[in-house]
Structure 1
């Protein structure tokens, strides 16, 4: 075969394979999203965001308590997990050669690969059993355990991309080492850090298994974080396995809202990530 023709054949073949691989990813994703929109759009209304679920057999209702509960637990988990992840990443970057940093990095990698249901069991043993009850606090700790390794590893990679000359210039001006790490190194990588934080929040926003062992869920409003609290993924799960058609419709609506939230967070993360690349 002519070498030129053979190269063109290989080029077209590889292009076809890449397009086919892309379609293999996008087509199922599009079908899933289309089905969720088709099944849930009719039940997404004002009542969905302002009302709590109705008793079985009654039409209407919403998942306002689940949305509020998810917001509370994700906020608490972020307040716990994000600072730990960021400061841990700073330690790994500035003291990367020590044995402790190797241990911390390995532990973060293991934790990031741990199934979320195991994380829920750990939080159950640490908080639910001693407190003798399920609670939003336990659910927040379980979600924080998922946030920490994601934020830590993404932040570490972003801090490594900061030129060493910036640190040296700051230290040469007499700025303390800790202040240089926070005000110069971390600030220079802030867009990338924000991307990692948003991806971590998007990850835990859809978690159900850890909350089954910790927050448990609640059909009513609850402001006490030491008591069981509703969460959107929990309500979707419970309503989807129920025998009531009205609850099935709410489950589809909840799935649509949850997917929309996660999609928005992912797009926002990509926006900050692109900003970092331009720099």
Structure 2
């Protein structure tokens, strides 16, 4: 099975999952539950740490690329360790078949920690936003590659109406342009190409250095050490999102190693990288 087939299967399975939710009128119940949920916590503001890189620590038991990582991990305990170690936010994988997660993991994390929570899943439909809000999410993931432009804008708009921040994930320049044109305020540059599952951290950091000043820039995938987090800071990343490396090792020591690295303003990062034609308004 090729990585591209894995991605196609994940999206096909997610469409079937959404169809079942619609069939059983889950959207109506989830919308009512979302309206009763406690106020969301500030995900975007948590990532804006002046002069330093914030950490989004991720909870996941397995992944298609790595296989089993920590299959018996309990989310409340791990999330508490992440928060105590200095994580600014926590990402919770809620996909079951491929990542071993669930909305119950999100609910457990909400009860265990006070930092903002990201529901990380393959979001394709509004019902998933209502579910996320009802289960205690403060932010959701929207993957540019998985969404048409119209749907991306619709989900961004609804996220805002629900008080959810949206981490809009891109991999290349074209996807970054699509994210920005849709109105993304938080852009994650994924070093992993979802078509091949290959990781190129250096290329993703070059793309981060080009993001506009007003956008929160998140480096995703490929961060496996304190040195990688420091490199992300030099590229102007506001935050790093790290899961597999933390879950496979010591979560407490791992978060401490990632947190607090200096963040270079992105205009300076572009100049240091030798990018020509940089205007003062292009990057922070």
Global fold match (TM > 0.5): no
- Category of TM-score, reference length = shorter chain: under 0.3
After TM superposition, the score normalised by the length of structure 2 is 0.26
Higher helix residue share: 1
Higher strand residue share: 2
After TM superposition, the score normalised by the length of structure 1 is 0.26
